[in-house]
Amino acid sequence: MATSSSRPEEDCHCPVCCDFYSDPVMLLCGHSFCKNCIEEWWTQKGSRTCPVCKKMFPMSRPPRNLALKNVTDALKEEASRQRAEDLCEIHGERLKLFCLDHQKPICLVCRDAKDHKKHQCVPINEATGDGKKELGVALMHLRTKLSKLNEEKLTCDQMSAHIQEQAQRTEEKIKGEFQKLYQFLRAEEATRIDRLRKEVEKKGQAMKIRLVNLTAEISSLSNTIKAAETDLKAEDLSFMLNHKAIKNRAQCTLPDPETPSGALIDEVKHKGNLLFHIWKKMKSIIQYTPFCLDPNTLRSHMIVSEDLMSLTTNDKSKKVPSNPERCKYDGVLGSTGISSGIHSWDVQLEGYWEIGVDTKTKEETRASLFTHDTIIAEHRSEHADRATALDYIPEKIRLKFEHDKGKLSFYDLDRKTCIHTITHKFTGLFFPFFNGNVKLIPHCPPLV
């Protein structure tokens, strides 16, 4: 069945009265007419022919066209509603003006009425043009916002994938580091147990020798006692005849027994402050730096090592999420921010490099030292780069950052001389900054 949306309004007009069908009927030729229209036509013509194709209609009464009636009624209702919307609710006149003060369509009578008499009114087509322009601008902003949302969604998708990559890489690193600790602890356990067992064997063997000697002395002394007891039972004459020999046999030349010192296991040596001594020994094999490189601030064509201690350049660019922490330009930031006090860190350098401090703000606040061929130059945001010519390029540098005093000094570790000092009013939170082929020089962790 046809619907109002699938059939144009012209198809719902009677060919006789040229108005919407009223109780439509359909002839055998397929043409439809209003019931009253076709009856009046036949009365006037005196024959039952179709007004369109002139074919005869042999039946006494044409059948009703219910489908066409439903479509026509729907179109009538829609047209009536449209006419009602185009008319003023108060005066019944067509809405031809637009009140800019009340922001609503009005009729010509409304314009002269009390409510709109002093208001600014324009023809509705002019207001429509201005309104569509405003809508066009709003639509442009909406499309811009949609584009930004799509870009942010893409960034979030990249960050989600990067998070999984980070998690896998970090988990492997954690397991590897703990495996090193397990190996160290197992080796330390085996060494200490081996020392204990050697001491047990040594002192156990000494105790066995001591027991053998004591057993022999006890046996000898027991025989002497038995001989003396036998001599005590001899006749007087016999005893006195052998008195001198009996007296000599009864003499004991063995010294009094003494328990040797240090015979027991030295538990203090093996158990005393055991965990502390193990930790102290572990400290000597563990590398330590006051901060690490933060890979979340790294640009795409650089690589931070798995231990977060060194930075290298990479010709192949790797796609990374554009998170807010990332550096504004090439390089990477340290993991720890500095807002006061005196701090220092050592770096090993190779080829092109740039080292210094920077903030995470959008403004350029970098203070650094960088190489250009055989020249070392200073970079500061408030003035142009200043170069310092050197006979050599140092390979190991210590940075001393005196935040409160506004000084950033660079020292050659090999020659123990100050290369350069940058003076600047450092305010806020600054982070160590690195670019190029740079490696942090580790130290033993401090005792706590």
CA distance 184 to 162: 33
Residue 12 DSSP class: G
Residues 214, 262 within the same domain: yes
Is the pLDDT reported for residue 317 higher than 70?
A: no
The mean pLDDT value of the chain amounts to: 83
Task: Please write the tens of the pLDDT for every residue from 356-376.
Answer: 999 888 776 888 888 765 556
Residue 112: CB atoms within 10 Å: 9
Residue 176 DSSP class: H
More confident residue, 445 or 60: 60
* Helix, strand, or coil (residue 129): helix
Residue 125 within any structural domain of the chain: no
Residue 322 within any structural domain of the chain: yes
Q: Mean pLDDT over residues 405-424, rounded?
A: 89
What's the domain range around 35? 9-85
Residues 306, 419 within the same domain: yes
Model confidence at 155, in pLDDT bands (50, 70, 90)?
Answer: confident
Q: At what angle do helices 124-232 and 274-283 cross, to 10 degrees?
A: 130
CA distance 227 to 240: 16
Among 100-114, 304-318, 378-392, which range has the highest average pLDDT? Answer: 304-318
Is the pLDDT reported for residue 185 higher than 90?
A: yes
Q: What is the pLDDT of residue 6?
A: 42
Element (H, E) at 220: helix 124-232
Residue 346 within any structural domain of the chain: yes
Model confidence at 5, in pLDDT bands (50, 70, 90)?
Answer: very low
Residues 267, 305 within the same domain: no
Q: Mean pLDDT over residues 129-157, rounded?
A: 89
Residues in the chain: 448
Q: What is the pLDDT of residue 236?
A: 80
Q: Mean pLDDT over residues 297-320, rounded?
A: 81
* DSSP H stretches of helix in 316-412: none
Is the pLDDT reported for residue 77 higher than 60?
A: yes
Q: Mean pLDDT over residues 16-22, rounded?
A: 84
Q: What percent of the chain has pLDDT over 70?
A: 87
Residues 266, 341 within the same domain: no
Is the pLDDT reported for residue 82 higher than 70?
A: no
Q: Among residues 346, 397, 345, 343, which one has the least CA distance to residue 371?
A: 397
Residue 23 within any structural domain of the chain: yes
Q: What percent of the chain has pLDDT over 90?
A: 25
Name the phi and psi angles at 81, rounded to 5: -65, -40
Per the structure, how many domains does the chain have?
A: 3
Residues 323, 273 within the same domain: no
Residues 365, 271 within the same domain: no
Q: Among residues 320, 336, 332, which one has the least CA distance to residue 163?
A: 320
Beta-carbon-side half-sphere exposure of residue 438 (alpha carbons within 13 Å): 28
Q: What is the dihedral of CA 379, 383, 384, 388, to 10 degrees?
A: -50
Residue 223: CB atoms within 10 Å: 11
Residues near 115 by beta carbon (within 8 Å), at least 6 away in sequence: 102
Among 71-75, 86-90, 307-311, 366-370, the minimum mean pLDDT is found in 86-90
Residues 220, 179 within the same domain: yes
Is the pLDDT reported for residue 34 higher than 80?
A: yes
Task: Please write the tens of the pLDDT for every residue from 39-72.
Answer: 888 888 888 889 888 888 888 788 888 888 888 8
CA distance 296 to 316: 18
Q: Mean pLDDT over residues 79-107, rounded?
A: 72
Q: What is the pLDDT of residue 2?
A: 39
Query: Which residue is listed with tokens 């942090």?
Result: 440
Model confidence at 129, in pLDDT bands (50, 70, 90)?
Answer: confident
Residue 408 within any structural domain of the chain: yes
Inter-residue contact 286 to 257 (CB < 8 Å): no
What CATH number corresponds to the domain at position 371? 2.60.120.920
Q: Among residues 218, 248, 217, which one has the least CA distance to residue 231?
A: 248
Is the pLDDT reported for residue 187 higher than 80?
A: yes
* Helix, strand, or coil (residue 318): coil
More confident residue, 363 or 331: 331
First to last CA, the chain: 90
CA distance 85 to 174: 72
Residue 402 within any structural domain of the chain: yes
Query: Which residue is listed with tokens 């200073």?
Result: 378
Is the pLDDT reported for residue 342 higher than 90?
A: yes
Residues 303, 435 within the same domain: yes
Write out the DSSP string of 73-123.
Answer: HHHHHHHHHHHHHTB-TTT--B--EEETTTTEEE-HHHHHSTTTTTS-EEE
Task: Please write the tens of the pLDDT for every residue from 233-291.
Answer: 888 878 788 888 888 887 877 788 888 888 899 989 899 999 989 988 888 778 788 88
Enter the pTM of the model. 0.58
Give Rg (Cα) of the chain. 54
198: left (phi over 0), alpha (psi -120 to 50) or beta: alpha
Residues 227, 248 within the same domain: yes
Residues 272, 344 within the same domain: no
Residue 145 within any structural domain of the chain: no
- 24-50 core/surface letters (b: 16 or more CB in 10 A; e: else): bbbbeeebbbbbebbeebeeeeeebbb
CA distance 9 to 3: 11
Model confidence at 387, in pLDDT bands (50, 70, 90)?
Answer: low
Q: Which of 85, 116, 146 is the last residue of a domain?
A: 85
Residues 321, 276 within the same domain: no
Model confidence at 385, in pLDDT bands (50, 70, 90)?
Answer: low
Residue 127 within any structural domain of the chain: no
